[in-house]
Chains A and B, each alone.
Chain A
Amino acid sequence: MLLTKWTFKGLNMQNGFSLPSPTQDLYFHHVSPGDTLSGIINTYYPGNINQMDAQIKQVMIDNPSVKNANLIKPGQLIVLRTASTTMCLGPIEPNEVNKVKHLWTIMPPDKQKAIKQTAPVYNGLTLGLAGGGTALFTLEKTLKSNMSFLNGIPDAYNDYKSGKITKYEFDKLRKLKLDQYTKNIGPIIDKTIYGEGKLKNAFKLKPGRSLNPTKTMTQHLNKLSKISNAASKGGVVLAGVGLAASCYQISQAEAVTEKNEIAVKAITSTVTGAAVGLVATAFLVGTPVGWGIILAVGTASAVTSWGTGEIAGHLYKSNFSDTDIVNNFGINKVCN
C-alpha cells in the first residue's frame, strides 16, 4: 500500500499537519471556524507581514479551491509549503498537491480523525502531565506523612493486649486516629483508595482471628505504603515526561519561530504557576489550611498557568517573533 510510506510530522500545529511528498514537504491546514487566510499564513510563516499579499496570492495559486482570499470555509483543506520549500523557486507542481490531497481523501476517516486530533491532544498532554505529576507528589506526601496515625493503632492494640489500656480506651484511641487520618487525607482520596467505610472496617478488631488480629491492619498499612511509593515514582516519571514532552515538541518543530513559541508557552506557564502558587500560599498561610485549600490552589495555578502560556505564545508570534530564545539560551541544543 502506498499509504504506508507516508508519515506525518507536523504534530505541533493546532489544526494542521504536514506530509512529506516525494519531492517536497507540504503543510495541510484544516480551516476552523474563525480562521482567516492571513491568520493561517501568519501561523505557518510568522514575521513576514510585508510579504503577506504575495503569500496570499501564492496560496491561492496552490489552492485552486480558494477563489476568494476573504472567503474560506470551515473544514476546507488548504495546502501550504513548508518553511524550507517557500525558498524554492517555481510553483508547487499541481500534480504533487493533487497526489497528497488524493491520499488524504482516500485515507480512512478514523485515520484522518486521528491525525487531526493528535496535535491538540499532544498539547493538552503536557499540561495534564505537569498537573498529574504535582498531584501524585502531593498524594505521596499526604499519605506518607499521615501514616503515623494508622501506625499507632497496632501499637495501641498491643498495649491493650498487655493490659496497659482498657478496651474502651483502645476503641477511643482507634477512632480518634482513624478520624484524624481520614480528615487529613480528605474524603475523596479516602473513598478512592478504600471505598466507603472500608478503612474503618480494616482497623477494627477481628475476634475470629485471635492468632494475629492485627494482620489486616498490617496488610492495609503495607498497601498504603506501596501506593505512596508508587505515587512518588509516578510523580517523578510524569514530571520528567512533562518536561521531556515540551523538549520533544521543540526538537520536532521545523521552524525556529515555532520552537520559540513552544518554549515561550512552557516558560510562561512555569513562571505563572510558580508565582500563583507562592502568592496564593502567602495570602492563605495566615490561618491553618486543609487539603481542600491546597487542592484549590493547585488547580487554580495549573489552569492560570496554562491560559497565560497560550496567550504568551500568541503574543510572541504576533509581536516578538524576531527574538530567538531557543538558540540564544541553548534550549534548542539541549532538546535536540
Chain B
Amino acid sequence: MLDSYINFSTYLFIGMGIGIFCILIPLLFVLHFAFKKHLDSAYFNENHFSLYELSIYKSFPLVYIKVLAYIRAIVLPETMRKRFKDNILVKKDHPMIYSLSFISILILAYSTIVLVNTFIFSVIYYIYYMR
C-alpha cells in the first residue's frame, strides 16, 4: 500500500516538473508578450497596481507576477475583483490568449494538488523512514 503511494506520488511530482518547465514557463513567456500588447496600456497603471508593484513588475523575473495576475483575471475574473473591477479580456475577442491562460491555470491547479500531496507524503515518509 505504502509502496504504491510512493510510486504514485513520485510520478505525480515528475508530472508537475514536466508541466511547469516544459509547458507553464514557455506559456508565461508567450503570454507576457501577448499581455504587453493587449492589456498593459489599459491595466498596468495605478488604478490596478500599487506604486511598488508598478516599479518592480517591469523586468524579469518579477514581471511574471503581473502575467499571473492577468491570467487569473482572465480565467477566474470573480476572484480578482479587488484588483480588476471589470472583465479585462473578452473570450470571443481573444480565444487563443484565453485558451493559453486556461491551460496555465490548469497546470497551476494540478501543481497545487501535487504540492499538497507532496507535503502529506513528505510527512508520512519522514515518520516511517527517515526519523
Residues of A within 8 A of B (CB): 137-138, 141-142, 145-146, 148, 180, 183-184, 267-268, 271-272, 274-276, 278-279, 281-282, 285-291, 307-308, 311, 314-315, 318-320
Contacts and interface: CB of A to CB of B under 8 A. Distances in A.
A278 B20 contact: yes
Contacts of B115: 272, 275-276, 279
B82 A315 contact: no
B24 A141 contact: no
A184 B125 contact: no
A8 to B, nearest CB: 27
Contacts of A142: 56
11 contacts: A145-B55, A146-B55, A272-B115, A274-B20, A279-B112, A281-B64, A282-B72, A285-B83, A286-B83, A308-B118, A311-B130
Interface in B36-50: 49-50
A264 to B, nearest CB: 10
Which one of A278, A289, A318 has the highest number of Cβ atoms from chain B below 10 Å of its Cβ? A278
Contact of B53 (A278, A289, A307): A289
A320 B25 CA distance: 28
Secondary structure class of chain B's binding surface, majority of residues: helix
B17 to A, nearest CB: 4
Interface of B: 3, 6, 10, 13, 16-17, 20-21, 24-25, 49-53, 55-56, 58-59, 61-62, 64-65, 68-69, 71-72, 79-80, 82-83, 105, 108, 111-112, 114-115, 118, 122, 125-126, 129-130
B13 to A, nearest CB: 7
A2 B14 CA distance: 50
Contact of B79 (A286, A290, A320): A286
Contacts, number: 94
Given A141-B62, A314-B130, A275 B55 contact: no
10 nearest A-B residue pairs (beta carbon): A271-B17, A145-B55, A288-B50, A285-B69, A184-B52, A275-B111, A145-B56, A311-B122, A282-B108, A282-B68
A279 B114 CA distance: 11
Given A285-B72, A288-B83, A278 B108 contact: yes
A278 B24 contact: yes
Given A141-B59, A141-B62, A285 B68 contact: yes
B55 A148 contact: yes
A311 B125 contact: yes
B77 to A, nearest CB: 11
Contact of A184 (B24, B51, B68): B51
Given A184-B55, A275-B111, 7 more contacts: A145-B55, A271-B17, A282-B72, A285-B65, A285-B83, A286-B79, A288-B53
Given A267-B17, A278-B24, A288-B53, A308 B79 contact: no
B125 A315 contact: yes
A149 B122 CA distance: 46
B86 to A, nearest CB: 15
A281 B20 contact: no
